[in-house]
């Protein structure tokens, strides 16, 4: 059965004091809720705050994870963090291939695929992100781009694709306040779902991300192939994030 999932991506935001309040509010709000089974939420925090997230969330229904991972298991890779290390801090999820990683840190399709593979090998759930730029959308190449990005991951992980999560995040909608319409998002999700089904992973959670807020989440999540969201800015406010998770 396809579960519903809402994941917060804190990006490079946070501080010990504000994190403590945010984590506590999210955990308190979610445990009080009477949501039906099959709904899950998680926060993906900067590496140094994993120990704090683990301490704050261990006994709650909120999962946590990281925002990137090395494709390598160990060794001379200064600055990198392995999937095994993330596991030691109780991570369940790790985002791979976020458009900011692709844009600012040159993560190529093959690198993203290798990271997804490393995460799965360690027992983590990679949240593999795909999405087109405004230029690519205007050129009519949205499908080509997202299928290329997804295909690289699927080729690398094989049958393990059934254990991952995919997020469609149009680059033009991230942090811009410009959300894809539910219909635009659904059209891409349907394409991705078809490709995933061919790989034996038609039932995995397929998230939408890009300027999701409490007031547009419901319309997006009502679409047939949208199983939840990857939330940036709005995940830094407990009340807003919880409202999205309940949408």
List the catalytic residue out of 100, 132, 169, 240.
169
Mask: binding to ligand PGA, 189-218, rule CB under 6 A, as x and -? --------------------xxxx------
> Is 9 one of the binding residues for ligand PGA (CB under 6 A)?
yes
Question: Nearer to ligand PGA by C-beta: 4 or 199?
Answer: 4
Rounded CA gap, 231 and 239, in Å?
A: 13
Q: Find the part of the chain contacting ligand PGA (CB under 6 A) among 62-70, 132-140, 183-191, 232-240.
A: 232-240
Asked about 189 being catalytic, the answer comes back as: no
Question: Using CA of residue 96, residue 98, residue 104, residue 107, what is the dihedral sign?
Answer: positive
CB nearer to ligand PGA: pick between 111 and 211: 211
**Choices 26-34, 57-65, 117-125, 167-175; region in contact with ligand PGA by CB under 6 A:** 167-175
Catalytic residue selected from 71, 98, 100, 132? 98
174 touches ligand PGA by CB under 6 A: yes
Q: Which of 14, 232, 238, 244 binds ligand PGA (CB under 6 A)?
A: 232
State the burial class of residue 7 (Cβ atoms within 10 Å of its Cβ: 0-12, 13-18, 19+): buried
Whether 77 and 115 have beta carbons less than 8 Å apart is answered as no
Q: Is 233 in the site for ligand PGA (CB under 6 A)?
A: yes
Active site residue 98: yes
Dist. CA 1–CA 38, nearest whole Å? 8
Closest CA to 23 of 243, 247, 245, 236: 236
Q: At what angle do helices 16-32 and 50-57 cross, to 10 degrees?
A: 30
The number of angstroms, rounded, from the C-alpha of 150 to the middle of its chain's C-alpha atoms is 14
C-beta of 48: minimal distance to ligand PGA in Å?
Answer: 20
**C-beta closer to ligand PGA: residue 102 or 195:** 102
**Would you say 22 and 45 are in contact if contact means Cβ atoms under 8 Å apart?**
no
- The least distance separating ligand PGA from the CB of residue 236, rounded to whole angstroms, comes to 9
Distance CA 157, CA 107 (A): 17
For position 175 contacting ligand PGA by CB under 6 A, the verdict is yes
Q: Which of the residues are catalytic?
A: 98, 169
């Amino acid at each position: 059965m396809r579960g519903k999932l809402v994941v917060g991506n804190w990006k490079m935001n946070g501080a010990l004091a504000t994190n403590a309040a945010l984590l506590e509010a999210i955990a308190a709000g979610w445990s009080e809720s009477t949501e039906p089974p099959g709904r899950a939420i998680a926060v993906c925090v900067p590496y140094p705050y994993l120990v704090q997230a683990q301490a704050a969330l261990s006994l709650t229904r909120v999962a946590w994870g990281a925002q990137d991972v090395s494709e390598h298991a160990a060794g001379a890779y200064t600055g990198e963090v392995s999937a095994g290390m993330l596991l030691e801090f109780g991570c369940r999820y790790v985002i791979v291939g976020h458009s900011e990683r692709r844009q600012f840190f040159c993560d190529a399709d093959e690198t993203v695929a290798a990271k997804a593979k490393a995460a799965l090998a360690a027992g983590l759930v990679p949240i593999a992100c795909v999405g087109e730029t405004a230029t690519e959308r205007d050129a009519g190449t949205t499908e080509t781009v997202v299928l290329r990005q997804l295909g690289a991951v699927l080729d690398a992980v094989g049958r393990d694709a059934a254990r991952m999560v995919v997020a469609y995040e149009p680059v033009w909608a991230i942090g811009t306040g410009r959300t894809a319409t539910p219909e635009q998002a659904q059209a891409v999700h349907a394409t991705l779902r078809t490709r995933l089904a061919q790989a034996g992973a038609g039932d995995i959670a397929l998230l939408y991300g890009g300027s999701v807020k409490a007031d547009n989440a419901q319309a997006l999540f009502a679409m047939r192939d949208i199983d939840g969201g990857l939330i940036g800015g709005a995940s830094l406010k407990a009340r807003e994030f919880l409202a999205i998770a309940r949408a």
